[in-house]
Homo-oligomer: A and B are copies of this chain.
Amino acid sequence: MTAPLHEAHPTGRRRALPDTQQGMRRRNLARVMHTVRAEGPLSRAAVASRIGLTRAAVSTLVDELIRAGLLEELGPERPGRVGRPGSALAVSGRGPAGIGAEVGVDHLAVCAVDLTGTTRARAIRQGANRGRSPEPVIAELTGLIRQVVSEAESEGLWPAGLAVAVPGLVARDGRTVVRAPNLDWRDADLGALLPADLPPTVDNEANFGALAELWLGEDTPGDFLHVSAEIGIGAALVVDGGLLRGTRGFAGELGHVPVRPDGPECGCGGRGCLEQYAGEEAVLRAAGLEPDRDRVGALAGRAADGDENVRRALRDAGSALGVALTGAVNLLDPESVVLGGELSGLAPWLLSSLREELARRTAGPACPVSVSRLGPEGPLLGAAHSVVRAVLDDPAAFAAQR
C-alpha cells in the first residue's frame, strides 16, 4: 500500500497535511490504519516492520487508535510462531461508519459501511422524485438516514459523516446543487436541509460512481474515464487516483458533448448532444417503449427477449457513445473507459457498437472499455466509502471528533 500524504476529505477532495510534528503524527496514524486495513490482522511488530517505524512508536500510535475505537485487538496470535505471541490488530467493526445516501430520479437509498468495508445497514425507497422540490425529498431521505444510523448504532457503530450522491451539477462548496435537470432542481442548498450533526457532503453521482470503481473495482487503473447514467449521462475522470473536478466542479458533462452538431435540440440549449442519442429517454423513444418505472430493466428485458427495435436502439446509443468517447479519449488519454451506473445493465447490447466506433476512429490500439461490476450500486457505495476513506486517511481528526 502507499502511505497517504494528503488529508482526507469526503468525495476525494484532498489537501496536504501540514509539514509539522503534529502533521507527521497524523500521517503515521493514517499509515497504521491503512496497513492494518489492507493486510490485517497484524501484530504491532508486523505493522512496525511494514511501515518502517520502531515497535515502540507503533505501539503508541496503535494505543491511540484503540482508545479512539478505530482499531481492535483480536487477542493473541495463534501459537507455533517464533517469539512471544503478539496480539493481532484489526480495524474495528464497531467503530465509525460512513453513511452514504443517494437521491435518484426514481428512488432514494441510504447505507452504512464500516471501516472494514462491510455494508452494515441499508434502506431504499422507490418513488418518482422528478418535479418534487428539494425540501420534501430531503426530508424523506433524512428519515431513511435516521433509520440506517439507528440500525448501525444498535450494532455498536457511530456515524463518522454523511455523503450524498445526486444526479446533477454540484458546486465546489460540496453542498449546493447548481442544476439537476432531471429533478428540475436549481441552486438548491442541500447542506441546509440535511442533518447538520453528521456532517453532510454532496457530490455528483458520476463522481461517487467513479470513486467506488477506483476503490472497490478489480484491477482498476489510477487513470480512467468512468461513464455512468441514470437519465442523464455523466462521466468522471480519475487522474493519478484523484477526481478531475473542473473550475466550477462541473467537469464530466459527457451527456452534452455534441455528437451531431445539427441534430435534435437539447434541453441544455445545444443541438445533437450525446443525451439526444444515448440518454434513457432517447433510447426509450427510439425503441418505442414507455414504461412507467424501471426503465433500464424494461429495456434490458426486451433486449434479452430479442426485441429487434430495442436492440437497434441500444446499438445506435452505443455508436453515439463511441463518437463522444472518441473525443474524450483524444482529449484525455485515459488508461481505460469503465461503464458504470445503470448503463452497465445495458452493456451487453451497447458495448460492441461502442467499441467498434471507438476502434475505427482511433489510430493505433483503441482505449479499452470495460463494464463495472458495481453496476447501479456504484454511486451509493462510493458515497459511503468516501466517508470511510476520510477516516482511514486522517484518523486523528475523527478520534478527536468522537
- Give the B-binding residues of A (Cβ under 8 A): 5, 16, 19, 179, 221, 223, 235, 237, 239, 244-254, 256-261, 267-271, 323-324, 326-328, 330-335, 360-364
16 pairs across A/B with beta carbons < 8 Å?
A5-B16, A244-B244, A244-B332, A247-B333, A247-B335, A249-B333, A253-B333, A256-B363, A257-B326, A257-B331, A258-B327, A267-B363, A269-B363, A324-B327, A327-B331, A328-B331
**A248 near B333: Cβ-Cβ < 8 Å:** yes
Taken together, the copies of this chain in the complex come to 2
**B361 near A251: Cβ-Cβ < 8 Å:** no
A324 cross-chain contacts in B, Cβ below 8 A: 327
With A223-B247, A245-B333, A270-B361 given, can you name 9 additional A-B contacts, CB distance below 8 Å? Answer: A5-B16, A246-B333, A246-B334, A247-B335, A250-B333, A251-B332, A254-B330, A257-B326, A260-B261
**A253 near B331: Cβ-Cβ < 8 Å:** yes
Nearest B residue to A221, CB-CB:
B247
Shortest CB-to-CB span from A165 to chain B, Å, is 19
DSSP majority for the A interface?
loop
The contact of A331 among B5, B270, B331, B364, by CB within 8 Å, is B331
Shortest CB-to-CB span from A262 to chain B, Å, is 8
**B248 near A363: Cβ-Cβ < 8 Å:** no
**A323 CA / B271 CA spacing, docked (Å):** 10
A19 cross-chain contacts in B, Cβ below 8 A: 19
Nearest B residue to A336, CB-CB:
B247
Question: Which of A179, A235, A326, A330 neighbours the largest number of chain B CB atoms within 10 Å of its CB?
Answer: A330
**B270 near A362: Cβ-Cβ < 8 Å:** yes
**B261 near A330: Cβ-Cβ < 8 Å:** no
The contact of A323 among B179, B261, B333, B364, by CB within 8 Å, is B261
**A271 CA / B327 CA spacing, docked (Å):** 12
A239 cross-chain contacts in B, Cβ below 8 A: 244
